[in-house]
Amino acid sequence: MTPGTPPVPVPVPPEPNDPSGSSSMTSRHAGTSTAGPRLRADAVTLGYDQRVIAEGLSVDIPDHSFTVVVGPNACGKSTLLRALARLLKPAEGRVLLDGRAIGGLPAKSVARTLGLLPQTSVAPDGITVASLVARGRYPHQGLLRQWSPEDERVVAESMEATGVAALADRRVDELSGGQRQRVWIAMALAQQTPLLLLDEPTTYLDIQHQIDVLDLCARLHEEGGRTLVAVLHDLNQAARYATHLIAMRDGRIEAQGPPAEVITAELVERVFGVRCRIIDDPESGTPLVVPAARRPRGGAGREGHEGHEGRQGHEGHDGSVTAASAAAARPAATPAP
């Protein structure tokens, strides 16, 4: 399989302290000592223009975890992810990658270690799947390192792993939303980074494509040993797939840890304003959020709805709890796409 003409990379200027213009930090970061997790934020203040979104925020991303960040709209989830990806410079504090301030590292060095799938990705008009995936190899190109059979192999394997190899010659703009999302993930895979950040990867996808994408992410984490960080809106999906959960509200971290410890009825009501019960997911055994039933106006609730201790339920601010709760019906061993 030939992925088409290799992309023409935009030159990355050398950092002031890197006169050679080449990376001094490999994917293994030889010679770099790390006392904690590879990726962390240390007392960062984040915002846009004069508006502060989060202040004094500290978070550690456990190595080899599938970390999911949840919270209502405008709580700072995507802002935190942008800071971790070096797209947003903290007004105060630091984001550390392998113990070094990420803002001071050469761009290509970061790109060989950390990949990002943004919330909205736009492909160049008319580009084929293979050519777009091949762009993931850009961080590995240089004056002395041009397109090679190794790049060809990585692109082919990335498309195979994400189930888009049969679409290699198709134009990206002809694909469905679910197919396009898998193509973007294939490009991130071709980048071969040990850390992968995904900002709402299931947005605008139907339930089947949401499951396909999250199954793929879980497989990348489990089989490839990658550290994944994703922002998700659906609590039940987050509980099912995450190994580490971070719950945010108003720019603060309300709780973090294993989903079974983080997701409680009290936390869901405090963070999302939703009264609920937490039960075991019958398929996965993970926490399942069941919002309290709405009582009809002007009358008592229907028989069988009295077991919620008189609590009146309502939807969350952004539908986060119930938007894709149908995922609970998914068989636990659904094959990866």
Domains identified in the chain and CATH numbers: 39-113+193-264 (3.40.50.300)
Handedness of CA 96, 101, 104, 109 (dihedral sign): negative
CB 79 within 8 A of CB 90: no
Report residue 145's pLDDT band, with 50, 70 and 90 as the boundaries.
confident
Predicted TM-score of the model (pTM): 0.76
Q: What is the pLDDT of residue 196?
A: 96
**Model confidence at 203, in pLDDT bands (50, 70, 90)?**
confident
Residue 36, burial from CB neighbour count under 10 angstroms (0-12, 13-18, 19+):
middle
Does 287 score more than 60 pLDDT? yes
CA distance 246 to 174: 36
Q: Which amino acid is at 61?
A: I
Percent of all residues in the chain with a pLDDT value above 70, rounded to a whole number: 77
Sign of CA dihedral 147, 151, 152, 156: negative
Q: What is the pLDDT of residues 69-127, one digit of tens each?
A: 999 999 999 999 999 999 999 999 999 999 999 999 999 899 999 999 988 888 999 99
Task: With a cut of 90, say whether residue 337 has pLDDT above it.
Answer: no
Cβ atoms < 10 Å from Cβ of 49: 5
The arithmetic mean of pLDDT across residues 226-239, rounded, is 97
Confidence band (pLDDT; 50, 70, 90) for 34? Answer: low
Q: What average pLDDT is seen over the chain?
A: 82
Inform me whether the pLDDT recorded for 316 exceeds 50: no
Amino acid found at 152: E
* Residue 16 pLDDT greater than 80, yes or no: no
pLDDT digits (tens, 9 = 90+) for 244-257: 999 999 999 999 99
Rg of the chain's alpha carbons, rounded to an integer? 21
Question: How far is it, in rounded angstroms, from Cα 239 to Cα 261?
Answer: 10
